[in-house]
């Protein structure tokens, strides 16, 4: 049975969260420029990328501060 696009997205997000936890998050003055580049390269809106980034950062922060 072929993998659904939804499942691919779930796996991709899980991998990115794993990498962020393992390697740490790097947020600096260039972060917004990188999001703009990703948007242009993928066709995903800046707003959606920012929403995903904010949610992921909040989730990881909550996880580590509540441990």
Q: What is the pLDDT of residue 4?
A: 97
Q: Can you give the pLDDT at residue 26?
A: 86
Question: What is the model's pTM?
Answer: 0.79
CB 60 within 8 A of CB 25: yes
Q: What pLDDT does 55 receive?
A: 93
Q: Which residues of the chain have pLDDT under 70?
A: 67
Exposure on the CB side of residue 17, measured as CA atoms within 13 A: 17
How many residues does this entry show for the chain?
Answer: 67
The SS3 of residue 22 is helix
Distance CA 61, CA 66 (A): 8
Give the span between the Cα atoms of 40 and 43, in whole angstroms.
6
């Amino acid at each position: 049975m072929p993998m659904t696009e939804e499942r691919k997205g779930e796996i991709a997000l899980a991998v990115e969260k794993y990498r962020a936890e393992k390697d740490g998050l790097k947020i600096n003055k260039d972060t917004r420029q990188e999001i703009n580049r990703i948007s242009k390269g993928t066709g995903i809106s800046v707003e959606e990328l920012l929403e995903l980034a904010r949610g992921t950062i909040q989730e990881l922060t909550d996880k580590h501060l509540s441990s």
